[in-house]
Every structure is written in structure tokens, then in C-alpha cells.
């Protein structure tokens, strides 16, 4: 079950990395890359150990899907709030 949460975390990290890179935040992008590689190493090691365990891989995939959806929804919501505050600044 832990691998499910690792999948969520990995996709949150990747979404954050994408945001940093697209905004040319060099140091933050580099830090997120290191974190992502550490997560990726953990996942790779565990998938290889359980290569014949389809439910293990399915749990990871489900976590990744949920992490992607949650990250996308969060960043979309944050952008809408930012756009709203820019178009209607407080007086």
C-alpha cells in the first residue's frame, strides 16, 4: 500500500518540477530533479523486486494517476485565484 502513496508523491514532485522549469526557476528545478530521482530509484528497486506482482504495479499506477489529477487540479485552482487577484486587485 505504501507504493500507492509513493506514486502520488512522485507525480506531485513531477508536476512541481514542471512548473519550476517552465517558470525558469533554476535552483528549485534542480532540487526537484534530485528529489524525483531519489523517488524514482526507490520505485525502480521495488518494481524490480516485485516484477511479477501486477497488483503492486497497479497500486503504484493508481497512485500516480491520483497524484497527477490532484496536482493538475491544484495548479489550475491556484492559477485561477492568481488571475482573479490580478484582474481585480484589492484597493
22, exposed or middle or buried, with CB in 10 Å at 0-12, 13-18, 19+? exposed
CA distance 91 to 72: 31
Over the stretch 43-65, which tens digit does the pLDDT of each residue have?
A: 999 999 999 999 999 999 999 99
Please tell me the pTM assigned to this model: 0.83
**Domain interval for residue 17:** 2-87
Whether the pLDDT of residue 90 is over 70: the answer is no
Q: How many domains are there within the chain?
A: 1
The mean pLDDT of the chain is 93
Residue 91: per-residue pLDDT? 56
Amino acid at each position: 500500500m505504501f507504493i500507492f502513496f509513493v506514486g502520488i508523491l512522485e507525480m506531485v514532485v513531477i508536476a512541481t518540477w514542471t512548473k519550476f522549469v517552465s517558470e525558469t526557476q533554476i535552483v528549485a528545478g534542480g532540487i526537484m530533479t534530485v528529489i524525483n530521482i531519489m523517488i524514482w530509484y526507490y520505485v525502480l528497486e521495488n518494481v524490480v523486486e516485485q516484477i511479477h506482482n501486477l497488483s503492486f504495479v497497479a497500486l503504484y499506477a493508481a497512485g500516480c494517476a491520483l497524484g497527477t489529477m490532484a496536482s493538475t487540479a491544484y495548479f489550475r485552482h491556484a492559477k485561477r485565484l492568481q488571475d482573479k487577484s490580478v484582474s481585480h486587485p484589492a484597493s
